[in-house]
Amino acid sequence: MYEVISGLPPYHDVSHNINLSIKICQGLRPRFNIKVPQLIVHLIKKCLDANPLIRPTVNEIKEILDKWRYYENKSEIGEQIKEADEINDSLPTSIYLQRI
């Protein structure tokens, strides 16, 4: 999800070595340099939970995404997407281009 939203692989600016692995095990998670709707951030955090039993199944993720798609213009997710787009459109071009 991080790569789809940002256009960059997670930890693209960090050496992929044992230190990164340890930091990930200690709770390090990718950060966005753009505004991301809070509902999407919550879903990403659930998917990245250290406890695999808490992570949603692919079917649960599909249900959430289907609901968002169906109700996008009439719900909280639609409002959050609109707000994020407005904020991201006002970002300097160099930051905006990083997400493409």
Q: What are the pLDDT digits (tens) for 16-40?
A: 999 999 999 898 988 887 888 888 8
Burial 6-36 (b: 16+ CB within 10 A, else e): bebebbeeeeeeeeeeeeeeeeeebeeeebb
Tokens of 44: 């990403």
Beta-carbon contacts of 34 under 8 Å, excluding residues fewer than 6 positions away, are: 5, 6, 84, 87, 88, 91, 95, 96, 98, 99
Q: Read off the amino acid at residue 56.
A: P
Pick 53 or 98 by higher pLDDT.
53
> Which residue ranges make up each domain of the chain?
2-98
pLDDT band for 74, please (50, 70, 90 cuts).
low
Verdict on whether the full-model pTM lies above 0.75: no
